[in-house]
Amino acid sequence: MTPLYLDDATVRRLLPLEQLLPAMRGALIDLSAGRVLQPLRSVVEMPEREGMLFLKPAMTADALATKLITLYPGNPARGLPTLLATIVLMDPVTGQTLAVMDGTWITELRTAAVSAVAANAIVSPGPKVVAMLGSGALARSHALALRAVRPVSEIRIWSRSPANVARCATEIGGRACESAEEAVRGADIICTVTNATEPVLRGAWLKADAFVAAIGAPRPSWRELDDEAMQHTVIADSRHSAEHEAGDVMHSGATVYAEIGEILAGTKSFPHTGGIVIFKALGQAVEDAVAARLVYDAAMAERGSR
């Protein structure tokens, strides 16, 4: 069988958020329960290009996949996304390649879906003020996903580029802020979706029951949050990844209280103290494998219906 090639437009059409949210919830539970084969990602640094290449394999009962993702912070100036990705999906029984698909939208949407799943499990009901530190593709996808799980009364956006902030605010219906502190003060949910290597979020700005989805800083030497922010309850998508890849965790001395999959499955109780919660997510390969399988199955169903 000839493998399918699925371009970005096709992937976007075949991956609805309403299907992805429960799929990500299941993937996180399976990861924490040990039902996923997933090594730490490999990273190739390309300093002469100011870029990085991540290789992320994972196998579940239904999918075997590898994602190749590049991180080029200079890409927006070229009119390209900072993150670009390709996913190779294989049959877990035979190893046969089923599809090669553009993974850019999968990366953007599944990252936001995971944050939304975590927020839905931890954040109290009712309208919420959201702060986005970062004004790129992940800010846009997070706005979409968070609105699917909570009423959002306001979205505030800040990044180092006022032009990007203004554009993002227009596109997602948010308010542009001149500083990170202005965006964060009083916010219920804060998403750090930046390429920062030094802290952009100060713990002193957080309200007493804030939920922080810390998405950027995927390298041991990078930070988005300061030590004060990391003193609060830390929940990770993967404890092993957080302890070996996340500079926010490694350099602050923070302890990972639980994985979000443990909270979702009820195997670890959540300390309902009303305090600040930091959700540190590094983007797990199982999320890509599960999302890619959803896209492939939808593509095959569409072909069968013709």
CATH number (domain holding residue 252): 3.40.50.720
Contact 237, 285 (CB under 8 A): no
- Determine, yes or no, domain membership for 53: yes
* Higher local confidence (pLDDT), 272 or 161: 161
- What is the reported pLDDT for 273? 65
The tens digit of pLDDT for each residue in 88-143 reads 999 999 999 999 999 999 999 999 999 999 999 999 999 999 999 999 999 999 99
Q: Indicate if 131 and 270 belong to the same structural domain.
A: yes
* Higher local confidence (pLDDT), 165 or 48: 165
Q: Indicate if 230 and 152 belong to the same structural domain.
A: yes
Q: Indicate if 137 and 251 belong to the same structural domain.
A: yes
User: What is the amino acid identity at position 60?
Assistant: T
**What's the rounded Cα separation, in Å, for the pair 195 and 52?**
12
Range of the domain at 57: 4-106+286-304
Tell which residue, 89, 24, 19, 92, has the closest CA to residue 296: 89
Bridge partners of residue 293, in order along the sequence: none
pLDDT band at 36 (very low <50, low <70, confident <90, very high): very high
- What is the reported pLDDT for 66? 97
Q: Indicate if 157 and 278 belong to the same structural domain.
A: yes
Percent of the residues in the chain that have a pLDDT greater than 70, as a whole number: 98
pLDDT band at 269 (very low <50, low <70, confident <90, very high): confident
Q: Indicate if 84 and 232 belong to the same structural domain.
A: no
**What's the rounded Cα separation, in Å, for the pair 131 and 42?**
31
* CATH number for the domain harbouring residue 31: 3.30.1780.10
- What is the reported pLDDT for 272? 63
- What is the reported pLDDT for 229? 96
305 has pLDDT over 70: no
DSSP 11: H
- Determine, yes or no, domain membership for 81: yes
- What is the reported pLDDT for 77? 85
Q: Indicate if 216 and 239 belong to the same structural domain.
A: yes
DSSP 100: E
Total tally of structural domains belonging to the chain? 2
Q: Indicate if 298 and 247 belong to the same structural domain.
A: no
Q: Indicate if 126 and 240 belong to the same structural domain.
A: yes
Tell which residue, 202, 197, 236, 239, has the closest CA to residue 219: 197
CA end-to-end span of the chain:
18
Give the CB-side neighbour count of residue 115, counting CA atoms within 13 A.
Answer: 33
Contact 249, 181 (CB under 8 A): no
Question: Phi first, then psi: what are they for 268, rounded to 5°?
Answer: -135, 125
pLDDT band at 219 (very low <50, low <70, confident <90, very high): confident
What is the helix (H) or strand (E) element at residue 153, kind and residue range? strand 152-158
Ramachandran quadrant class, 172 (left: phi over 0; alpha: psi -120 to 50; beta: rest): alpha
Q: Indicate if 144 and 184 belong to the same structural domain.
A: yes
How far does CA 33 lie from the centroid of its chain? 20
Q: Indicate if 30 and 161 belong to the same structural domain.
A: no
- Determine, yes or no, domain membership for 111: no
**What's the rounded Cα separation, in Å, for the pair 188 and 123?**
8
Q: Indicate if 175 and 254 belong to the same structural domain.
A: yes
Q: Indicate if 136 and 255 belong to the same structural domain.
A: yes
User: What is the amino acid identity at position 23?
Assistant: A
306 has pLDDT over 60: no
Paired tokens of 60: 């579940």
Contact 55, 42 (CB under 8 A): yes
The per-residue pLDDT of the chain, averaged, comes to: 94
Paired tokens of 260: 């979000």
